[in-house]
Amino acid sequence: MSLPGIPSLEGTYPSTMDPYPYEAKEFNRIYPFYENLRQKRLTATKCNACGHISWPPRVVCPECNSDNLGWTDLGSKGKARTITEEFAGVPLGWETPLIHALIDLGGGHKIFSRIVNCKPGELKEGDELQLVVYDIPPMLIEKREGMIESPRVFFAFEPVKKAGK
């Protein structure tokens, strides 16, 4: 369902779940996150001064305030730790339930993500999940040459299908 002016874009992406809607380099200091995502790499910032890894990515290290940050891969597979199926209060234009999980990516990294390609009740704690990267509607941005469409991507996780299922 498409609602002009309302950020429930074709049921794939709510702006409320994306803290950095402008992915273009001109507007966003964490743009490498999206460039990495396009290569199917989920990355976080890693402080070159103290080694602290930040998720979501940052422009300044919350531990030592250094802005000398690099990028580190979080991996593209993990295990579901806690699962929620949201039936009420789902953003306008979305079908219920909206499934989310806290995912253990290994190496001490845990992230909260939307789960797609999954029926309600299907996902269990401990199930394997894998990264999915998909295109979302472009953002119109103003450049010297005029308004241009800036392509965008976003991510979710999906269950790893077991053989024979």
> Can you give the binding site for Zn ion, defined by CB under 5 A?
47, 49-50, 52, 61, 63-64, 66
Q: Please state the φ and ψ torsions of residue 34, each to the nearest 5 degrees.
A: -75, -35
Q: Which is nearer to Zn ion, 14 or 57 (by Cβ)?
A: 57
62 token code pair? 């919350």
Q: Which is nearer to Zn ion, 53 or 98 (by Cβ)?
A: 53
Q: Which is nearer to Zn ion, 50 or 148 (by Cβ)?
A: 50
CB of 85 vs Zn ion, minimal distance in Å: 37
CB of 53 vs Zn ion, minimal distance in Å: 10
User: CB–CB of 33/58 below 8 Å?
Assistant: no
Strand pairing of 13-14 and 8-9? antiparallel
Q: Which is nearer to Zn ion, 1 or 50 (by Cβ)?
A: 50
88 token code pair? 């009420």
CB of 72 vs Zn ion, minimal distance in Å: 13
CB of 73 vs Zn ion, minimal distance in Å: 18
Identity at 161, one-letter amino acid code: K
How many other C-beta atoms lie within 10 A of the C-beta of residue 21? 14
Q: In whole angstroms, give the CA distance from residue 24 to residue 35.
A: 10
Q: Which is nearer to Zn ion, 61 or 123 (by Cβ)?
A: 61
CB of 25 vs Zn ion, minimal distance in Å: 24
Q: In whole angstroms, give the CA distance from residue 9 to residue 92.
A: 10
